[in-house]
Structure formats: C-alpha cells, structure tokens
Amino acid sequence: MRLLLIAVLYKPHLIILTIYDLSYKIMKTKYLILSLFLLLFLYSCHKNKSLLILQQPVKAGDLTTLVLNEADFKSLVPLGSLNPSSHVYPTDHMYLYLTDPKIEAPLYAPGNLTIISLARNKHAIGTQFENEDYSIKLGAYESYIEFGHVSRLTDVMLAGVDFSKGQCQEYSLGGTEMEEKCTIETNIKVKAGDIIGYCGKVLGQSALDFGLYINNKPVCPLDYFSEPTRTELVNRISNYDGTIKPTITPVCGSANQNLDNTAQGVWLRVDKQAYPNAEHAPKYPESANIALVHDNIDGRAVFSIGLTVPGVSPNTYYFKPKATGLLNRDFADVKVDGNIYCYDYEYKNGGGFPVSFILQLIDAKTLKLENRNFTSANSPMPYAFTNNVILFKKE
C-alpha cells in the first residue's frame, strides 16, 4: 500500500510543491507524527514570508554604488532630523536633498540585492494637495535598505503589480489629512547600478528618504558602503541645502536620543479625555507628542513640539544650554530633583514671538511641561505651574 501526500503552498511570487511518498511501512505512528511536523513546517513557511524568499541580508561592504548621480543631490542629511508635526521624533532615515526637485532623477540600486517589497503611498487624500509616491525595500526582512518618496517606478518594477491587492492601511500624520500605504511583497533581483525608480517632479517632495535597518532598528547606511563610495557620501553630509557641515559626532547622526532618568528623549502625552483606555497617547502619529533632543547638525538643544501643547504651533524651538542653574539647562542634566526648570528659546524655524517653557521631571518616566507667553526675565523665581500644565510619559 502506498499513499501520496501532496502539500501545495501558493504565493504570488512562489509556489512550494512537496510530495510525500508514504509506504505502508511508514504508516506507523512515529512516521505519521514526523509527517505532521513536516506539514506544520511547510505551513509556517507559508505564514512567514522570510522563509519563502531566498533573501540576501545587507552586510557591510555590500553597497558599492551611489544611489543618485552626484549632480542630482545637493546634500545628505544625517539621521535625527526634526520636522514637526509629521516628524516630531528624530528621523530614523537620512535625506538626499535633490538639486532640482522639479527635474526627474534616476534612482540606482546600491548593490546586488533583492527587492523584497514595493509600496504605493498616497498623501493628503481628498485635498487639493493629494499626490502619490512609492517606497522600495531591498535586502532581507532582518536587514534591509528602504527608499521613500520615490516619484516613479520603472516598468520592470511595476510589471504584474496591483497595489490594490496588497496590504493597505490608512493613517493620519496628525490633523485631518489622511494617508494610505499599500504594500506588495516581491522577489526582484537587481544589480548594482540598475535603475529601480526616479525621484523628483512630485509636488512638495524635495528629498529622497534613505534608511538602513538591522532587526528593524535604524543604523547608519554609510557603514555598509565599500570605499570609495562611502567616503564620497560622508563628504556630502550637511544640512538640507549643503551649506553647513556637522560639528558633532557621530557624523551620520542618531535616531535614538532617549537618555534614561533624564528629561532627554521622546515623551508621549497623557490625556485621559483623548485616550481614556490608555496610559498615554500612542507613539504614532508623532504629532500627539514631543521630543526633547539635540539638533543633528550642530547639537543645539531643541524642543520638538507636535500638535499637543496649547498655544504652541508645531515647530522646533532651540535654546543654548547652560551648565548650571535652573535656566536653559541641558535636558540630560534635568533629573528627578524636585526643581522646575525654565527655557527661553533663541528662535524657532520661521521666527515668532518670544516664549518660554517650564518643565519638571516627576519621576524617571513622568514629565510636566507648560508653555508660557513670556520670557524668564518677566517671571520671578521660583517657577510654578498653572492649570495649563501638561503631563507626559516616556516611551
């Protein structure tokens, strides 16, 4: 007696066909158990996309080619940029600012890699500013490069792709405008220097997002380029228009600036009316929260404020830290000491009226913050909170 047991697992880009030839001899219990384990393994492969694709994790030295022509970008901005209200936290990716965003520029594969997913992104849905662009993920799910704000994909990339059948989700970056992201899994092999898309010619898009992630944590992409390409990229690191070079280390920037037992880091708003069933606001969208961090170019201390502080527009508010006292102390020096600290900001992007903040670290995970429409010079010590105080929890 012979029994053929056939297991077929289907994915759009892959079919797994396994045939078990079970003779009478292996119909005994122990062999049946073994067969069941094999079927369970195949099922786990079906559920776990990382087992279905022969992936190529990105390793140091794998990247050899500039992703844009040198003339097509004017600067490479480090990790840790701030742009409230959509980017209240230090960004987990770098930016390649285009020399002329009105002109389309080709995007090249930086190495011999596999494109494991493509995504179509719709922005400001239903408004006069609605537009769409794409994201490209290359490598493996535990180690990958991701490009964002790609204006157009090549015909090869789009062949057979129907984003409406992908995994789609709608979300908000804050406010009333909605975004949509539809992702399709792929298995497209590319070689270093292949054109995989284009940047530019999308309203409001002036830069290409460029990130590299190991186990979903951001790292410096430049560390994975071979020479001389790595040095070429390091030499292009600057602010958005290429006029100011970083004066701090690491030159590649840092996405995670949280510092335990201090005021420095990302803070999530406590609001029982808005979030009755949660201790605090969710981490995303970022606009509900704040970050007390440092600039990724010159290291200045900065309040990065979303839509969460009454009377304060979403912006970055900079100040010059002092080493002593209760005025303009660096966030890293603010600890659980019972003191209330005051901050007069030097300027915000775009200018504005003088303003100050007062804050206090209640415990390692709890912060009080209040906006005041006058400077410390017009506020005698000791500083005191009013009913306008807001509570935050550290992420």
Fold that domain 70-234 belongs to in CATH = Glucose Permease (Domain IIA) (2.70.70)
Query: What does the pLDDT read at residue 156?
Result: 86
* 212, containing H or E segment: strand 207-214
Task: Determine the Cα–Cα distance for residues 114 and 120; give it in Å rounded to an integer.
Answer: 18
Residue 30: exposure state from Cβ atoms within 10 A (0-12, 13-18, ≥19): exposed
Alpha-carbon span 130 to 365, nearest angstrom: 39
Q: Is 46 helix (H, G, I), strand (E, B) or coil?
A: helix
pLDDT tens-digit profile, the chain (395 residues): 333 333 333 333 333 333 334 343 444 445 445 444 544 544 444 444 444 445 678 999 999 999 999 999 999 999 999 999 889 999 999 999 999 999 999 999 999 999 999 999 998 888 888 889 999 999 999 999 999 999 999 998 888 889 988 999 988 776 677 889 999 999 999 999 999 999 999 888 899 999 999 999 999 999 999 999 999 999 999 999 999 999 999 999 999 999 999 999 999 999 999 899 999 999 998 999 999 999 999 999 999 999 999 888 899 999 989 999 999 999 999 999 999 999 998 866 665 555 799 999 999 999 999 998 887 777 778 899 999 999 999 98
pTM here is 0.83
Compute the distance between CA of residue 149 and CA of residue 162 in angstroms, rounded to an integer.
Answer: 19
What element of type H or E holds 113? Answer: strand 113-125
Q: Tell me whether strands 207-214 and 94-98 are parallel, antiparallel or unpaired.
A: antiparallel
Question: CA 386 to CA 384: how far, in whole Å?
Answer: 7
Domain boundaries, the chain: 2-52, 70-234, 265-394
Cα 343 to Cα 249: distance, rounded to the nearest angstrom: 25
CA distance 261 to 264: 8
Query: Three-state DSSP class for 106?
Result: strand
Kindly state the tokens that stand for 117.
């997913």
